[in-house]
Amino acid sequence: MKILNINQLKECDQFTIKNKPIFSINLMEKSAKVSCEWLLNNTSPSEDFVVFCGNGNNGGDGLAIARLLSLQNRKVKVVANYGKKFAKDALTNLQKIPENVPIVDTSDFSISIIRNTTIIIDAIFGIGLNKNIGQPWEAIIDDINKLDNRVISIDLPSGFIPDGDRNSDVKIKATDTLSFQFYKKIFFHPETGINCGKIHVLDIDLSKTYIDNAEVDSYVSEEDIIRKIYKKRSDFTHKGNFGKAVLVGGSYGKTGAIILAARGASKTGAGLTFINAPECAYSASLMQLPEAMFEFAGAREVDIITTIEDGNYGIGPGFGKTETARLALENFLRNHSRPIVLDADALTLLCSHFNLLSWVPKDSILTPHPKEFDRLFGASLNSFVRLELAKEMAKKHQLNFVLKDHHTQIVLHTGEVYYNVTGNSGLAKGGSGDVLTGIITSLLAQKYSPKEAAIFGVWIHGKAADLALKGQSKESLLASDVIESVGKVFNYLSK
């Protein structure tokens, strides 16, 4: 799915109104109808609603939702600001409010009208907000945020704009967000996404022509994209068709990291998996993954990276940070031209010896977490700034970055960004990144392009973590549990 910026979102509405054609008031009614249907299906009849409505189009949506809920015999109150002029369509919906729906002016509002069973609907401000909210809404939002009630925002939480660059100082903290037609960038960044709760994208039939022709650089890695990437395995084939994944690392004390990476690669379908590690990792590797072949890289630390003909390399888990490790990495990079995956200690070596970056093969995949990226290219004020810097560095160095986060961002050297929507906080644990390195390396070995391997690999990793949660908790989830669920992911895709 494409992620449109604020101007494109407005243009899409206007294009739809002009070319469907459809009156703006009818488009608002459609938005309210799908929202009302969602609310009826996802709330209890015993729960009542208080709908906070601004004076613009978002408030108009809220007023229409209040009317439709009341027609379904749900208890509803409206809070609105009569001290400010209403937009045309909002005024029309205000005038349609049934007599049995109480309307409380913001000047008379008291938090006491909200009961424990009350669901709060936030329809105060929408995508057009361009300044701080101001009173009386700031005080009301502060009151709402102190409550434990479920808060459902319409289109986006009030106080935010879709691109996240001019947010108000005061913002709603939502439990759920009902977004019309599209995901918005703010849903995926930690500074803003924490206020958005669970995201539910509702189809309001905006112009497909406009959407298809809209030029964007940001996408969501939804299942339709993944299914286009996935290559279902043929029955008439052999191991030679699925490449060689070579995982390099596992110095003394960090053997587990390279074994996790190799297991991830093998489970993801590489024809042959090699563990290129020091001798100290040999016995553990043989016991943990007898399917892999072992290539000696030294005694206790990596001092040489073995050349495997036609091998696809994932380097870094437990690789080591010594001068010996640096020389081994440099010698390899100087003599290797195919895209590779770099993670963990390999990234740390790039940070401390930045000149190595120039030797990294073009179109390679680097998988830094935020602090690793900051050490590479300098600290950023927030994740929005970090993303823009990543796009700049990806183009400059012709590399692809997997910026690991709750919603990992795959930043391609073309300038495109793909936000991942699988995974959970159970992945916030040692070993998870090693497994991801193995998965992506395996996909490269299977002739997926670096773009496909990065997007698909991150999705598989997150989906496996989601499937692994069944029967356990986020706290108990282990990296090895994720590996064991990779097969379930391919079964899911094969159906």
The model's pTM: 0.94
Regarding the domain with residue range 6-216, which homologous superfamily does it belong to in the CATH classification?
A: YjeF N-terminal domain (3.40.50.10260)
Bond prior to 290 in cis (omega within 30° of 0) = no
Q: In terms of Cα–Cα distance, which of 44, 105, 29, 54 is closest to 74?
A: 44
Residues 6+ apart with CB under 8 A from 140: 52, 79, 106, 109
CA-to-CA distance for 219 and 239, rounded, in angstroms? 34
Residue 325 CB coordination number (10 Å): 23
C-alpha distances in angstroms, 117 versus 196, 255, 288, 413, 495? 21, 53, 52, 50, 41
CA distance 319 to 345: 6
**What does the alpha-carbon distance between residue 343 and residue 437 come to, in Å, rounded to a whole number?**
7
Q: CA of 230: how far to CAs of 233, 235, 412, 416, in Å? A: 9, 16, 19, 20
* pLDDT tens string 391-429: 999 999 999 999 999 999 999 999 999 999 999 999 999
- Domain spanning 225-494: which superfamily? Ribokinase (3.40.1190.20)
Could you tell me the two tokens for 492? 């899911």
Q: Residue 89 has what pLDDT?
A: 96
pLDDT at 326: 96
What are the φ/ψ torsions at residue 26 (nearest 5 degrees)?
Answer: -75, -35
The predicted structure's pLDDT at residue 29: 97
- pLDDT, residue 314, reads 98
Quote the pLDDT of residue 171: 94
Say if residues 9 and 181 touch (Cβ distance below 8 Å). Answer: no
Domain boundaries, the chain: 6-216, 225-494
Nearest one of 176, 180, 157, 200 to 30, comparing CA atoms? 180
Q: Is the peptide bond before 136 cis (omega within 30 degrees of 0)?
A: yes
Pairing of strands 76-80, 103-105: parallel
Determine the pLDDT at residue 165.
Answer: 77
pLDDT per position in the chain (495 positions), as tens?
Answer: 999 999 999 999 999 999 999 999 999 999 999 999 999 999 999 999 999 999 999 999 999 999 999 999 999 999 999 989 999 999 999 999 999 999 999 999 999 999 999 999 999 999 988 778 889 999 999 999 999 999 999 999 999 999 987 788 899 999 999 999 999 999 999 999 999 999 999 999 999 999 999 999 999 999 999 999 999 998 999 999 999 999 999 999 999 999 999 999 999 999 999 999 999 999 999 999 999 999 999 999 999 999 999 999 999 999 999 999 999 999 999 999 999 999 999 999 999 999 999 999 999 999 999 999 999 999 999 999 999 999 999 999 999 999 999 999 999 999 999 999 999 999 999 999 999 999 999 999 999 999 999 999 999 999 999 999 988 999 999 999 999 999 999 999 998
